[in-house]
Amino acid sequence: MIADRDGPDFVLRGAAAATSPLLVSVPHTGTEIPPELAARFASDAIRALPDTDWHLHRLYDFVPELGATLLAARASRYVVDLNRPADGHALYPGRAETGLVPTTTFAGAAIYRAGEEPTPEEIAARVARHWQPYHAMLRALLDDRVARFGHALLFEAHSIVSEVPRFSAERLPGFMLGDVDGTSCDPARADAVFEVLRASGISASRNLPFKGGHITRAYGRPAARVHALQLEMSQRLYLDESAPWLWRDDLAARLRPVLRAALIAFTASSRSRS
């Protein structure tokens, strides 16, 4: 039995008491930066961590109430991006994206002072120190759910500022559901979630402009009884989209029921198709 914990690299809630095959992973909500690393950053604006999925673990804190499990990262994506392949290869070849250990922000600003960029040896050490433990737990949780429930449902939770010209010329939709073009999840399960998102009245897209990052692609294996979806959300839905990225109780109160309904639809659809 996997116990809940507050580990050095992640927080785990609802694991031991799980009554559902659902696992919600939040790999970009972390804000921890070693002081010696922050000292190498190019400016205070970078040290404010503008590309964080701000407060997302708080937004999804209801997950254990569903009998499901919540896994959330502690380290910032500027330390190492848990949703990128450990070998650093591109997710969207030919398109702008940030890497395993980013050196520029979404806005294109340099993260490090000139000459302070991480070396290949440092990158390898960060992968071993932070990336590997998160993925080891992710794999253990998915294996546990397959063993206990016959299948696993992985929901990758993400958020992003609404306007990112580097990635999209247009303002992003409210919801962006990704199932890697129908390969990471049974289409009927993805359909059930997408219908909930569309019915909310919030703008929604599917596999555009994001179809799923490394975690969705690596672990979503319907033939192996693991179904994975990624939900990217515009942060305007629950916070103020400028520093200090303040949480909005009024917005979150309207958004949480939609997220809860989407997760319930994902889980309910599995009961008839597992």
pLDDT band at 98 (very low <50, low <70, confident <90, very high): confident
Band (pLDDT 50/70/90 cuts) for residue 270 is very low
Query: What is the rounded average pLDDT of the residues 168-184?
Result: 95
Residue 109 banded pLDDT, cuts 50, 70, 90: very high
What's the pLDDT at 274?
46
Average pLDDT of the residues of the chain? 94
- Tally of structural domains, the chain: 1
Chain centroid, CA 238 distance in Å: 16
pLDDT at 167 over 90: no
Confidence of residue 273 (pLDDT cuts 50, 70, 90): very low
Query: Is residue 92 over pLDDT 90?
Result: no
Q: Which of 93-102, 129-138, 153-162, 249-258 has the lowest mean pLDDT?
A: 93-102
What pLDDT does 121 receive? Answer: 97
Domain that holds residue 257: 5-273
Average pLDDT (118-137) is: 97
Instruction: Give pLDDT tens digits for 191-214.
Output: 999 999 999 999 999 999 999 999
pLDDT at 70 over 90: yes
Q: How far is it, in rounded angstroms, from Cα 4 to Cα 71?
A: 9
What is the CATH classification number for the domain harbouring 76? 3.40.630.40
Least confident of 47-56, 84-93, 192-201, 253-262: 84-93
CA dist 22 and 32 (Å) reads: 26
Q: Is the peptide bond before 93 cis (omega within 30 degrees of 0)?
A: no
* Separation in Å, CA 187 to CA 4, 64, 222, 228, 266: 31, 25, 10, 11, 11
Q: Above 90 in pLDDT, residue 272? A: no
- What band does 114 get if pLDDT is binned at 50, 70 and 90? very high
In whole angstroms, what is the distance from residue 157 CA to residue 148 CA? 23
